Amino acid sequence: MEPRTFVNSPLARVARLVLGRAPRVAMVLGRTVHLSGATRAEFLADPEWVAHEEVHLRQVRDLGLPRFLWQYLLESARVGYYQNRFEVEAREGARLFMESRARRAT
Ligand SMILES: [Zn+2]
């Protein structure tokens, strides 16, 4: 099932500025993927990106949004964005998804 999206999200726009004017940003808030710098079609056309955000949607479901946001910010402050365990898990989940997708295609 395709995730719910909210395009031109002001909150995602703030994240985009914080991340050094990243060209496009997705941010999971509750059950919705907030986008800035990308349309819903552009987001959905990138299966690795969608798989990455699906992991964050699951993380939010598991922890609840307040705890997720708090732990995410703590992790980011402690180890930075890239080594943040939520990001590591999302990248790994997306990588595995793309691998299994490639296997199915052959
Ligand atoms: Zn992420």
Q: From the CA of 56, how far away is ligand 1's center (Å)? A: 7
Q: How far is the CA of 28 from the centre of ligand 1 (A)?
A: 9
Tell me the mean pLDDT in the region 29-47.
96
Instruction: Determine the distance separating the centroid of ligand 1 and the alpha carbon of 16, expressed in angstroms.
Output: 12
Going from N- to C-terminal start, the domains of the chain cover 4-105
CA 94 to ligand 1 center in whole angstroms? 10
DSSP state of 37: S
Q: Average per-residue pLDDT in the chain?
A: 94
Angle, in degrees to the nearest 10, between helices 85-105 and 47-63: 130
Percent of the chain with pLDDT over 70: 100
DSSP state of 3: P
Give the Å distances, CA to CA, from 55 to 10, 20, 21, 105: 22, 23, 24, 22
Distance 87 CA to ligand 1 centre (A): 5
- CB-based contact 37:25 (threshold 8 Å): yes
